Structure 1
Amino acid sequence: MGRRGRVSLAERVYEELRHDLATGTLQPTERLRAERLAQRYGVSRTPVREALARLEADGLVQRHTDGLYLYRPRLDELDELYELRIVLESRGFQRIAAGGSVQVHVPAAHDLPTVRAELARWREYRDTPPEPGPDLVAADERFHTELLRAAGNPALVEALTAVYLRVRPVRTMDVPTAERVAAMTAEHITIAEQVLAGDDQALQTLTAHIQSSRAHVRVRAEQAIAFTKLGRAVRD
């Protein structure tokens, strides 16, 4: 009984810690101390250490000389992850374009009700802009994963979700201006409208949108790296 209870507790801490890291509740620059986390989740240090070990194995936590921190991709990794994101999302649109192909069974069109639901959501955001922060990042990810899901290949969605998990620590550190939020909202609306209209420009609009996001996130990553180096220099 004791063993099963301890494993169950470690699982709970793992899920809660994973959620807090993904949503930005815990700051990416914060050292993940077992003692402090144990107090936060109301448990002993043992299940926290087990949870941290699992997160490190998942690649979501990385070890530095002074302890564990939320994984943040290097600049070259960030570029590679965004390149993969473009490949995955573009493939969804290409599957639709290849609907008549005899080589592979693909849907003839997107799951249009799903696209319409996302369009309605972002039109509401246009009228009532969301606050910058983790919820906005989650809404943005939902838009892209839902459009890819609507293309009919769940494996592509799983791969895209894995990419988001790795770039999210940098994205949640980025606080966009009201102008950027408005631009992102307008671009989402345009992409969804083009998909619903069967416009071939949808893929081009999507790619430009992702490239713009990469440029902003890369700048934030560069700033975070400089800040981290400065902080370590001060501590040393």
Structure 2
Amino acid sequence: MDTTQDPVLQEPGTQGGRRLTARVRVYEALRGELLSTAVSPFTRYTEENVAERFGVSRTPVRDALARLEADGLLVKRDGGLFRYTPTVTEFTDLYELRVLLETCGLDRAIDDPTIRHDTGAIEAELVVWQERSDAGILPDAGFVTADEQFHTVLLGAAGNAELVGALQRVNRRIRPVRMHDYLTQDRVNATISEHIAIGELVLSGSLRQARDALRTHVGQSQSIVRARAARAMHLMQLAP
């Protein structure tokens, strides 16, 4: 590893905060940018323009871009790296897989009475969501990460880590479109109340009702963002 090309830098915006290597600083900054609504799918990321922008060498930038590509946030196209936006077909297929994975966690507990959910994990997650409900959360694209956390905790509570890993991979691929689901107050409010309701159903042992509520919850999200995925694909087809 070429540590001479990877200086330690103070993280901006912190008070005596943690010190970051250049590659981590660039990675985290670009990751936050790609998860926001500010980046066009036509913005090209290259080692040269990113290195110039952050005032670092190309070595840490190369590592950061490789990580972002592995995360599924950047894809190679036309000799450069661009923000990943799934096609309509990809989006539909990935959402179908998401539903299968999430309901599988409940189905395995329904089919096998010896499988018990980790109620402590669910209870702890519900405390967080109740606090959000009480505080009132404003619309924000970054809310998608909080939503993903609930769903991975719920699935993980059923005891199959491989299902969780598969769900996380699906989430990374649909996240660039899904984040647009949380730009209106009604969607944020509905997500919070539905998460609480689903979690409480699981804790009460009403697993079939929880599964039905989960399907409805995910299906509503899919229908809302499907149009946005179609629009993004249309824009990409119009690009020169």
Is it true that 1:153 corresponds to 2:160 in the alignment?
Answer: yes
Out of 95, 115, 124, the position equivalent to 2:131 is: 124
Change (3 A) 1:154 1:7: farther
Among 194, 198, 220, which residue is 2:201 paired with? Answer: 194
2-structure distance, mates of 1:111, 1:226: 43
Given the two structures, how large is their TM-score scaled by the length of structure 1? Answer: 0.82
Query: C-alpha distance in 2, partners of 1:14/1:93?
Result: 39
Q: Which amino acid aligns with 1:149?
A: G
Q: Which SS does the other structure have where 1:89 is aligned?
A: helix
Gaps of 5+ in 2: 8-20
Post-superposition Cα deviations, 1:9-31, rounded to whole Å, max 9, x if no partner, equal 78536743663355338625332
Aligned 1:30-179 pairs, distance under 5 A: 30-53=43-66, 55-56=68-69, 59-65=72-78, 67-100=80-113, 107=115, 109-179=116-186
Q: Secondary structure at the match of 2:142?
A: helix
Q: Give, as a single letter, the amino acid of the residue that structure 1 aligns with 2:188.
A: V
Change (3 A) 1:161 1:57: closer
Q: How many residues align?
A: 225
Q: Is the CA contact 2:45–2:82 (under 8 Å) kept in the aligned structure 1?
A: yes
TM-score, length-scaled by structure 2: 0.80
Between 204-213 and 41-50, the greater mean CA deviation after superposition: 41-50
1:226 partner amino acid: H
Greater CA deviation, 146-155 or 216-225?
Answer: 216-225
Any conservation in 2 of the 1:22–1:165 contact (CA below 8 Å)? Answer: no
Q: CA deviation at 1:116?
A: 1.1
Higher mean C-alpha deviation, range 75-84 or range 164-173 = 164-173
For residue 146 of structure 1, report the CA deviation from its aligned partner. Answer: 0.4
Partner in structure 1 of residue 218 of structure 2: 210
Q: Distance in 1 between matches of 2:227 and 2:37?
A: 22
- Structure 1 unaligned blocks of 5 or more: 101-105
CA distance in structure 1 between the aligned counterparts of 2:49 and 2:161, rounded to whole angstroms: 38
Correspondence 1:219 to 2:227:
yes
CA contact (8 A) 1:13 1:47 kept: no
Secondary structure of the residue aligned to 1:201 is helix
Provide the residue aligned with 2:28 in structure 1: 16
Give the C-alpha shift of residue 5 in structure 1: 4.6
Shift of 1:174: 4.3
The one-letter code sitting in structure 2 at the alignment partner of 1:116 is: E
Amino-acid identity (%) = 42
- Matched-pair contact (CA < 8 Å) for 1:38–1:45: yes
SS in 1 for 2:158: coil
